Amino acid sequence: MQNKIVIGITDCKKYDTYHQWIAEHPDKRIEIIRLSHHSQNLSDLRKCHGIVLSGGEDVHPRFYNKPEYYEFCDKDDVSELRDEFEWRVLDYTEKNNLPVLGICRGLQVGNVYFGGTLIPHLPAWGKDDHSKYSNGQTRYHTIQIQDATLLHTLAQQSAGNINSYHHQGVEILGNGLMVTAQSEDGVVEAIERSPNAKGGFLLLVQWHPERMEQQQTPLAAGLRRIFMEAVEG
């Protein structure tokens, strides 16, 4: 029997959705580990071949030296324990060149880890509302994809339609990163490593591919495929 391919997914309220999405990849060697800030199972990182940074809480502004931004955060949806845990996860992935796919909050915590900052509430900064509609329905909008990027390679198109569930976004970009997709109002929707930056596979997206209605699109299943290709080497 071939060796298992172990994917670590960071814990969140909708963890099962991420687990199912990764498990639907055709390679049946996949084993999934729940990396939880509650159980602090950082030792399980040694078993992992790739990491998915899941969505969830606002990143506490103290991690990007903007404590004054805290008033714009959802006070009931901030977890410094999770922030600190995922910081250590990224310490490990950087040291060991593990492939990382970041989703929604995963993009935000990744940007902060590399020295960037966040817009704590997009409408307060003059941006469009990027959260779901007040009636609970999913918001969709168009993104523009930069040429000659990993995202463009998998999408094979310069624009795409994605879902949107977030109220925060990138303010200052982290070191060694480049923006690879933006919304029409200029909000960063995807980040990759700069071509001259050292490190393993890193693709961070602001939308939720695991929740896309059309799963067999490049910006949903295509993201999973290219991540798993990086994991499988």
Continuous segment of H or E residues that includes residue 152: helix 150-155
Active-site residue flag, 71? no
- Using the 8-state DSSP alphabet, how is residue 175 labeled? T
The DSSP result for 37-92, as a single string, is TTTT-GGGGGG-SEEEE---SBPPGGGGT-GGGGGGS-GGGB-HHHHHHHHHHHHH
Is 196 exposed, middle or buried (CB count within 10 Å of its CB: 0-12, 13-18, 19+)? Answer: exposed
Active-site residue flag, 73? no
Are 190 and 206 in contact by the 8 Å Cβ rule? The answer is: yes
Task: Give dist(CA 117, CA 170) in Å, integer.
Answer: 6
Annotated catalytic residue within 12, 48, 73, 104: 104
Active-site residue flag, 12? no
Residues 148-186 as b or e (16 or more Cβ within 10 Å = b): ebbbbebbeeeebebbbbbbbbbbebbeebbebbbbeee
Continuous segment of H or E residues that includes residue 153: helix 150-155
By annotation, the residues acting in catalysis are 104, 208, 210
